[in-house]
């Protein structure tokens, strides 16, 4: 169970990372929308797990690869943004959130447009 401090830091990281990814998408992935769906921070505040949603979804693996390769630069940029609010910048783990794909697939199945329509 997350405490109040973890929730506040999660929201802070979510807000600041959103602006970082907005600039990243404009510079490196034109026509791609990168959004943060959830940020979870460990109890010791040493690790932040960041779930990303990428649209169009066919570029998600390229985006995730790029982000993981440049995670130290992204963490440094985050550190510049939050330097007055946190002593230590948490390590960052990035994951692709495929919830929207899952929902879309269920909608298609329910409407009978998917590979295995429900009879």
Q: What are the percentages of helix, strand and coil residues in the chain, rounded to 5? A: 55, 20, 25
| pTM summary value | 0.81
- The tens-digit pLDDT sequence of the chain (119 residues) is 568 999 999 999 999 999 999 999 999 999 999 999 999 999 999 999 999 999 888 888 999 999 999 999 999 999 999 999 999 999 999 999 987 778 878 888 888 865 554 54
Domain at 4-111, CATH from 3.30.300.20, 3.40.50.2020, 3.20.20.140, 3.40.50.1100: 3.30.300.20
Q: For residue 99, what pLDDT is reported?
A: 79
The pLDDT assigned to 89 comes to 95
Cα angle: 81, vertex 79, 95; to 5 degrees: 100
Domain ranges of the chain: 4-111
For residues 26 and 110, what is the distance between their CA atoms, to the nearest angstrom?
Answer: 36
């Amino acid at each position: 169970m997350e405490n109040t401090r973890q929730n506040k830091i999660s929201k802070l990281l979510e807000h600041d990372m959103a602006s970082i990814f907005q600039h990243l998408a404009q510079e490196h992935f034109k026509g791609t929308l990168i959004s943060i769906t959830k940020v979870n921070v460990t109890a010791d505040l040493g690790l932040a797990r960041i779930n990303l949603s990428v649209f169009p979804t066919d570029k998600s693996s390229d985006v995730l690869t790029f982000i993981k390769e440049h995670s130290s630069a992204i963490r440094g940029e985050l550190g510049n943004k939050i330097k007055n609010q946190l002593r230590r910048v948490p390590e960052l783990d990035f994951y692709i959130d495929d919830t929207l794909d899952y929902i879309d697939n269920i909608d298609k199945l329910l409407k009978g447009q998917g590979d295995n329509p429900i009879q």
